Amino acid sequence: MAPPIPFQDRPGAFLTRFNQTFENEDLIVEALRLAGCFGSAGNKELALIGDTILRLFLQVEGRARGMNRGSIDAMVQRQARNDNLTDRGFELGIDRYIQNNPSQGTISRGVMATTVEAIIGAVYLDKNGELAAVGQIIAAFGLGWPE
C-alpha cells in the first residue's frame, strides 16, 4: 500500500498522476475537497456540471462515430452511472487525492462518484468548455468510448 499523500499536496499530486495542468488550480482543489472539510462547501456543484459534461461528451462522441441513438444511450447509461464512476475512481486510486476531514473516515462510494464527476466539471471549466480537453481526462479515467 502506498504511503498517504500529505493533505496539502493532494491536488498537485493528482495533477501529476493524471498529467493535467490547470490555469485555475482552485478548481481542482474544489473538486477534490469534500463538504465540511475545513469549512468547505465541497465539490457537489462541480459534480453537477461534470455529470452533464460526461453525458454530453459521450453523446457528441457517439454521434461523431456514426452510432445510432440506442447505442449512444446505452453507452451513456453504462459509463455515466454512479456505480461505474465509483469503481473507476477506486481502481485508479483517486481516493488517495481526496481532501476530507480525517474524522470522516474512509471514502464512501457516493463520495467517489461525486468526486469523479467534480473532476470532470473542473476540467471543463478550467479549459473554457473545450470538449477535447475534457476528453483527455475522460479517457484517462476509462469512461469514454472504446477505441
Question: What are the φ/ψ torsions at residue 15 (nearest 5 degrees)?
Answer: -60, -40
Q: Report the domain count for the chain.
A: 1
For residue 76, what is the domain's CATH number?
1.10.1520.10
Say what the pTM is.
0.94
Residue 14 lies inside a defined structural domain of this protein: no
pLDDT of residue 51: 98
DSSP H helical ranges for 20-108: 25-32, 44-64, 69-79, 82-91
d(CA 57, CA 19) in angstroms, rounded, equals 20
**Could you tell me the CA-to-CA distances from 20 to 5, 23, 77, 105 in Å, in that order?**
18, 10, 27, 28
Residue 2 lies inside a defined structural domain of this protein: no
d(CA 55, CA 53) in angstroms, rounded, equals 5
Residue 47 lies inside a defined structural domain of this protein: yes
Q: H/E element holding 74?
A: helix 69-79
pLDDT of residue 34: 86
Residue 46 lies inside a defined structural domain of this protein: yes
Per-residue b or e along 107-122, where b marks 16 or more CB atoms closer than 10 Å to that residue's CB: beeebbbbbbbbbbbb
Residue 86 lies inside a defined structural domain of this protein: yes
The pLDDT tens digits of the residues spanning 22-32 come to 999 999 999 99
The grid coordinates listed for 138 are 475522460
Q: Which domain holds residue 95?
A: 24-141
pLDDT of residue 40: 65
Residue 126 lies inside a defined structural domain of this protein: yes
Low-confidence ranges of the chain (pLDDT < 50): none
For residue 33, list its beta bridge partners: 99
The pLDDT tens digits of the residues spanning 66-88 come to 999 999 999 999 999 999 999 99
pLDDT of residue 36: 65
Query: What average pLDDT does the structure give for the chain?
Result: 93
How many residues are given for the chain? 147
pLDDT of residue 66: 98
Residue 71 lies inside a defined structural domain of this protein: yes
pLDDT of residue 52: 98
Residue 18 lies inside a defined structural domain of this protein: no
pLDDT of residue 1: 66
